């Protein structure tokens, strides 16, 4: 059984992943052109993978004897991001993903339980892959490439 601090860290990570900007906009239907359908498909794949990762954390917490925490609503700041174009969305996703990753990485050093540490590492690895993919999407999107570093 994991300790209370590890439980708290995993619950915070579950909320971060389960209520991320990527999850929000996957439900907000970004506006795309016919030429952007491949990018949209990649974006949806990332969101699906992130949702599955959140479910895996919830399942792990359940196996440890804890109920899955209530995720709560999405941040209010997200509510203005509905039906927006990829031009607008991609730089936001890149920056938010970068910030989320920076905030999650310290958790790895705070978790001593090997199974819980594995859960945290999987989320960090996924987030890094997603950041790389989002940067590539932004770079290949002509209107966005100049705004993403």
Domains of the chain: 4-143 (1.20.1260.10)
pLDDT digits (tens, 9 = 90+) for 70-125: 999 999 999 888 888 888 899 999 999 999 999 999 999 999 999 999 999 999 99
pTM exceeds 0.75: yes
* pLDDT interval class at 5 (50, 70, 90): very high
Alpha helix ranges (H) inside the chain? 4-18, 21-27, 37-63, 86-110, 114-140
Could you give the CA distance from residue 60 to residue 117 in angstroms, rounded to a whole number? 11
C-alpha to C-alpha distance for 91 and 83, rounded to whole angstroms = 15
Mean pLDDT, residues 27-51: 88
95 to 127, 131, 144, 147: CA distances (angstroms) = 12, 9, 13, 11
pLDDT at position 143 is 60
């Amino acid at each position: 059984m994991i300790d209370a601090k590890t439980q708290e860290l995993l619950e915070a990570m579950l909320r971060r992943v389960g209520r991320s900007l990527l999850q929000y906009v996957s439900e907000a239907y970004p506006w795309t052109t016919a030429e952007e359908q491949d990018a949209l498909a990649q974006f949806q794949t990332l969101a699906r993978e992130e949702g599955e990762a959140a479910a895996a954390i919830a399942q792990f917490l359940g196996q440890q004897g804890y109920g899955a925490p209530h995720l709560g609503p999405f941040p209010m700041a997200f509510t203005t991001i509905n039906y927006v174009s990829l031009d607008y969305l991609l730089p936001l996703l890149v920056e938010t993903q970068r910030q989320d990753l920076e905030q999650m990485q310290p958790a790895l050093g705070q978790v001593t339980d090997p199974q819980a540490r594995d859960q945290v590492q999987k989320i960090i690895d996924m987030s890094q892959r997603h950041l790389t993919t989002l940067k590539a999407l932004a770079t290949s999107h002509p209107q966005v490439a100049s705004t993403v570093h």
